[in-house]
């Protein structure tokens, strides 16, 4: 456990952590693999240096935690990581292999010189001294089994894992490459004899004979495959096959392709070029099973074949009525691995999902969701809900891998399927310790993306993460921080949880140079819960990184802006890099222009602004704007004088010296209870929003259940001010003994500011309100569960409600006036 010294404790929302910890990291400029989701070594950044990096978290509010990672840190196993749902090279992308030059094979058909037999191609292992073996065995015995199991659990095979559904039906053997197919191993002598025949005959054998050679050579022991690839005689065989490619029967050509899969022939090999061209030429003469099988082989070979996929999609479109269930699932798998979404098949895919939904195995349901997710294929809410309906009823019987794939698509579709989410809260916490780190990340990210807070799920994630944090990719660490920050959840082991992730962020700094979006994602998640690691912030706001964000395919300016302004407000002692003033101004103008067009004009905000002008005496008393542009939501700003009167301050409007006069408002407790809560049997937000969506739009119409509640008022109530005058605040608010003003920041909230079906604010809005208070504002909220129902009520009722909100005695007590 971590050694922590608590010097002072503040309430959770106002706490800022400061600690320092030393973590080994590799600050190298070299890039990572071609994609973030390629195989990774979690400890690769630590292998070549022992230099120390100190992590500082800024402390704006005099709270300190002194942290000693050595008190809990243990060495962790090195593992290779594959990205969730990637599978290496996408079928539809251009093949590249950064860091590795492509091998160009030369074919010499004239040489018949015999080379040493294959059995001698690989060097024999050197024998170890007995003492060395004994020591090695003794040291490894205690760790090997445990660490091996851990590595096995954490290792995600991005090529094989998505293919698990193919084991569920025998029909998949005809449309996919079966790795488990039993094959008799070919003796080395026979393999050498085949190569000798190729050299003597210079590859002039018949196509059937050449195909048979491939079938046999692919059965050589696996450890001999690498040596075979460098054999000139094998290159002669490949060259002759490529030259005569059109003479092969389709079945023989498929067998050659399958042999290439077994031999792990490099994706850019010239023989594969010839095979691809030939298969593209003869697709229309092939059977559907064969077309799908060839596509599957290309996936196994990690070869990009966009032309073949285009023909495949056209072929299946014409033969759609002939597709069987296994053929359909295999097609969706191929679509996903190719990262291509054929628009002309979209409607047919949805229809087929509904047609076969009850007949799919649970693994096939997961495969369908993964294929749609990888290809970014949007499906209708109706179809996604049908899938979720089935999964919610059978979740206990579903493999974790398949379940995570469903969650990915649920997240992508932004579907709030409450039965599934509730069942997830029952099933997944117990599985968390056995799920690899990428799967755990997708579980927590689904919850945060859907704004669904389940403490059982998040607590289980937090408890399991520190011990396996070194298996996190930069993406994983960032998404964990974002998920917990978005839901404003700090677990019981928060210090260990956050410090371990921040250490991993340092270890993965070299990856952030290529994937800058992940660093900003993680730092914003930390900022939501008031944690500011100084060194990472200094790097993120530095000129070099800012330039990398400009080159990114994502729009990262607003994230930089939010981070920079948050540090400015909450960390006055920070002396590191700052966002360039010119860029700061550019982003500010961009956000304000967007707000003018999209935010200030929202009906619930326009209505509140207009009515507040009536309550306070005119437009000069209220301003609809963004006090904090970096929080990306609007405020209605109001200033009250020391005696409780509103102060004109909006310079954009003509300012007049107007005083409030009494207008005979009678605000009884009973009236305000009705205005705010409705009838006594009104439903709480958690009940009325069970069917509410969680889309990204900021405003929605109030729920029917809330609007159905009548709000009773006195028919003689008068809240309209007389011409040229404003309302008088209640006498209790005229507090003249405090010679200062109070600035109100009125929040017109909506359900997307809160966790699903609750009154738990999301992290960004917690950050905003915290910073408003730090700048001296008193935050007043018009919560959506009160204000949205009132939008359908009378003007008098809305005016009374706003009057009460602005001149609430408790509000001024919070401001320190009473």
Q: Are 393 and 429 in contact (CB under 8 A)?
A: no
Give pLDDT < 70 ranges for the chain. Answer: 1-143, 145-150, 152-153, 156, 203, 652-739, 812-818
Measure the CA–CA gap between 637 and 779, rounded to whole angstroms: 10
Q: Are strands 777-782 and 742-748 parallel, antiparallel or unpaired?
A: parallel
Tokens 């251009």, located at residue: 94
pLDDT for 378 equals 83
- Angle 108-111-117 (CA atoms, 0-180°, nearest 5)? 100
Residue 651, token pair as written in the block:
């310079």
23's enclosing H/E stretch is strand 20-24
CB neighbours of residue 54 within 10 Å: 11
pLDDT for 651 equals 80
Give residue-wise pLDDT tens across range 608-660. 999 999 999 999 999 999 999 999 999 999 999 877 889 999 986 543 333 33
pLDDT for 670 equals 55
DSSP string, 83-116: -TTT-SS-TTSPP--TTSPPP-----TT------
pLDDT for 156 equals 67
pLDDT for 205 equals 83
pLDDT for 393 equals 96
* Residue of 193, 186, 196 lying closest to 221 (CA atoms): 186
User: What torsion do the CA atoms of 589, 591, 593, 594 make, to the nearest 10 degrees?
Assistant: 160
């Amino acid at each position: 456990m971590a050694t922590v010294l608590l010097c002072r404790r503040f309430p959770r929302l106002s706490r800022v952590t400061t600690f320092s910890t030393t973590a080994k990291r590799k600050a190298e400029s070299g890039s990572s693999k071609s994609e973030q989701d390629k195989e990774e070594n979690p400890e690769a950044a630590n292998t070549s240096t022992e230099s120390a990096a100190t992590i500082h978290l800024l402390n704006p509010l005099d709270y300190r935690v002194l942290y000693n990672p050595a008190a809990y840190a243990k060495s962790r196993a090195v593992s290779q990581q594959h990205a969730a749902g990637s599978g290496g090279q996408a079928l539809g992308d251009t093949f590249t292999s950064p860091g590795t030059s492509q091998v160009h094979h030369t074919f010499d058909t004239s040489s018949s010189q015999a080379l040493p037999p294959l059995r001698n191609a690989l060097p024999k292992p050197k024998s170890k001294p007995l003492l060395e073996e004994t020591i090695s065995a003794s040291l490894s015995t205690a760790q090997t089994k445990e660490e091996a199991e851990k590595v096995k659990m954490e290792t995600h095979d991005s090529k094989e894992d998505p293919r698990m559904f193919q084991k569920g039906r025998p029909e998949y053997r005809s449309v996919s490459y079966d790795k488990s197919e039993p094959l008799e191993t070919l003796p080395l002598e026979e393999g050498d004899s085949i190569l000798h025949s190729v050299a003597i005959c210079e590859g002039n054998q018949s196509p059937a004979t050449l195909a048979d050679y491939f079938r046999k050579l692919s059965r050589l022991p696996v450890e001999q495959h690498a040596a075979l690839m460098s054999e000139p005689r094998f290159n002669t065989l490949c060259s002759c096959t490529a030259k005569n490619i059109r003479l092969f029967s389709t079945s023989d050509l498929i067998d050659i392709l399958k042999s290439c899969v077994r031999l792990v022939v490099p994706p850019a090999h010239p023989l594969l070029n010839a095979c691809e061209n030939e298969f593209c030429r003869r697709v229309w003469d092939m059977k559907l099973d064969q077309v799908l099988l060839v596509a599957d082989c290309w996936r196994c070979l990690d070869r990009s074949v966009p032309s073949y996929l285009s023909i495949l999609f056209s072929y299946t479109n014409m033969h759609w009525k002939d597709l069987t269930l296994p053929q359909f699932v295999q097609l969706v798998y191929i679509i996903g691995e190719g990262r291509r979404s054929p628009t002309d098949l979209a409607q047919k895919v949805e229809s087929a999902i509904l047609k076969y939904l009850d007949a799919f195995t649970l693994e096939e349901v997961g495969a369908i969701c993964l294929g749609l997710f990888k290809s970014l294929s949007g499906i209708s809410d109706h179809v996604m809900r049908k899938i979720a309906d089935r999964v919610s009823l059978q979740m206990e019987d579903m493999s974790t891998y398949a379940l995570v794939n469903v969650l990915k698509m649920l997240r992508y579709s932004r579907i709030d399927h409450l039965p599934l989410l509730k069942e997830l809260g029952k099933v997944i916490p117990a599985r968390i310790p056995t799920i690899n780190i990428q799967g755990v990340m997708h579980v927590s990210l689904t919850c945060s993306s859907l704004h669904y807070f389940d403490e059982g799920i998040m607590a289980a994630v937090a408890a399991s993460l520190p011990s396996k944090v070194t298996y996190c990719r930069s993406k994983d660490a960032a998404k964990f921080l974002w998920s917990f920050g978005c839901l404003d959840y700090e677990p019981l082991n928060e210090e260990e949880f956050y410090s371990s992730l921040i250490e991993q962020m340092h270890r993965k700094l070299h990856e952030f140079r290529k994937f800058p979006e992940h660093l900003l994602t993680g730092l914003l998640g930390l900022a939501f819960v008031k944690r500011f690691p100084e060194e990472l912030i200094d790097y993120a706001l530095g000129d070099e990184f800012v330039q990398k964000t400009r080159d990114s395919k994502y729009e990262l300016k607003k994230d930089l802006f939010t981070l920079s302004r948050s540090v400015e407000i909450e960390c006055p002692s920070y002396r590191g890099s700052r966002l360039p003033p010119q860029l700061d101004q550019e982003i500010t103008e961009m956000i304000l222009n967007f707000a003018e067009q999209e935010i200030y004009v929202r009906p619930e905000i326009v209505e509140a602004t207009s009515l507040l002008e009536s309550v306070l005496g005119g437009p000069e008393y209220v301003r609809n704007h963004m006090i904090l542009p970096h929080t990306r939501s609007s405020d209605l700003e109001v200033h009250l004088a020391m005696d409780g009167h509103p102060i004109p301050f909006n310079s954009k409007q003509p300012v007049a010296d107007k005083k409030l006069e009494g207008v005979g408002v009678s605000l009884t407790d009973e009236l305000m209870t009705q205005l705010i809560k409705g009838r006594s049997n009104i439903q709480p937000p958690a009940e009325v929003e069970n069917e509410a969506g969680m889309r990204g739009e900021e405003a929605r119409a109030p729920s029917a259940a809330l609007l159905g509640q009548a709000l009773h008022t006195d028919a003689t109530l008068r809240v309209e001010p007389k011409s040229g005058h404003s309302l008088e605040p209640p006498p209790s608010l005229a507090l003249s003994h405090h010679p200062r003003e109070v600035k109100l920041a009125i929040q017109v909230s909506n359900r997307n500011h809160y966790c699903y079906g609750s009154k738990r604010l999301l992290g960004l809005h917690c950050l905003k309100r915290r910073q408003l208070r730090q700048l001296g504002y008193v935050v007043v909220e018009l919560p959506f569960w009160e204000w949205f129902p009132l939008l359908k009520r009378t003007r008098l009722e809305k005016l009374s409600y706003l009057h009460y909100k602005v001149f609430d005695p408790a509000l001024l007590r919070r401001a320190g006036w009473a």
